[in-house]
Amino acid sequence: MFKKYPEIENHYRQKFIDRFFDLYPELQHEFFEITEKLDGANFSIVCHADGSIKFHTRTGIEPDTKFFGWREVFESEEMQTYLAQMKEFSLRFNKTIQFVGELFGKGIQGRVDYGEKKWRWFYIIEHRNNTESRIVPIQEEKNYFFESIIYLRVPTITIRNLENDFNSLLTSLDEKYLKTNSIFTPLEKSDQVNQKEGLVIRPKSRDYFSPVGAIFIVKQKNEKFKENVIKKTKTIKVYSHEYHNLIPLGLSYVSKNRTLSLFSKEGEIDSPKEIGKYIKLYSADVFNDFLKLDEYQEKYDALSKEEQKVFNKAINKEIVQELNSHL
């Protein structure tokens, strides 16, 4: 039994934010939990009601032994103790619980220094049967689990309400918390710059869903971890002014940070034989993100069919070069 962790939206998607505040005016009076966005690989532990334990990557598959060396984390004596307590809880209350978390640390991504490899959870799903599941609100989490399991949760940085509006909250978080060091910075490196990847902002009392199933959880990324970087392009064949304005923006969505984000979900690319698979996944991710912005969607739609074809080809060529740099 497994449920995929939902995509969380970027803080600059103003229409997404406005839509939720229109749907749920009570969000104005919510308290929001702020946690660190970890720079690692999404990884779930599912403790079944019969006492069995399964491990899953973001896509739901059971990881092979090469997935960022995950076994070494869970084979430690400390983690075996925690797993036993998770199992005990599921057995005692006859519940199947999915702990959605992150593998992070040495050998994973490498953009933030967390020290040795570790795992922490940040989201809980209670599975009631083969078809029903329930996200456990933050407000309820401490009523559910043993103290030691709560210890493995990503720590809360702060709880904030809206003094004015949501954008004012984002601004205050940027100024106070976004560019500070990761809370998992090794003690011996605490005097060095080791900025966190970003912040995750989630309502505390309950979770809010849109009619199409999107959830109101927002990520606010540190500028240095942005997944799109504007690039200079060579002018070749003469296409429209709109095409030449749009192509650098599209190419900016192919970046090292996006590559690492993809690897965190699918595992690192190991062989040139896998290039086709990763191009398809990468291209879908780029276009999904790029065309989320209405302005870019309109400009892309305004291109001729030939220009769209050349645009898509240019993006995929950039993706191939980026993936090859990791082989």
| Spatial separation of the C-alpha atoms in residues 322 and 119, rounded to whole Å | 28
Q: What is the pLDDT of residue 217?
A: 96
Q: Which of 276, 261, 290 minimizes the C-alpha distance to 324?
A: 276
Instruction: Spell out the per-residue pLDDT of the chain, length 327, in tens.
Output: 788 877 889 898 888 999 999 999 999 999 999 999 999 999 999 999 988 999 999 888 888 778 898 999 999 898 998 899 888 888 888 889 999 999 999 989 889 999 999 999 999 999 887 678 888 999 888 776 666 688 889 999 999 999 889 999 999 999 899 989 999 999 999 899 999 999 999 999 999 999 888 899 999 998 887 766 656 555 445 578 888 889 999 999 999 899 988 888 888 887 778 889 999 999 999 999 999 888 899 999 999 999 999 999 999 999 998 998 887
Q: What is the pLDDT of residue 95?
A: 86
Please spell the DSSP secondary structure of 202-238, one letter per residue: EESS---B-TTS-B--EEEE-GGG-S---------S-
Sequence-distant (6+) residues with CB within 8 A of 146 are 85, 88, 89
pTM of the complete model: 0.73
Q: How many residues can be counted in the chain?
A: 327
Q: Do 147 and 21 form a contact (C-beta atoms < 8 A)?
A: no
Q: In what order do the strands lie in the sheet with 133-135?
A: 53-57, 41-47, 96-104, 118-127, 133-135
What torsion, rounded to 10 degrees, do the Cα atoms 223, 228, 234, 237 define?
Answer: -150
Helix axes 256-266, 305-324, angle to 10 degrees: 70
Give the chain's domains with CATH numbers: 9-223 (3.30.470.30), 241-324 (1.10.10)
Q: What is the pLDDT of residue 170?
A: 94
The three-class DSSP label of residue 96 is: strand
Backbone Cα Rg of the chain: 21
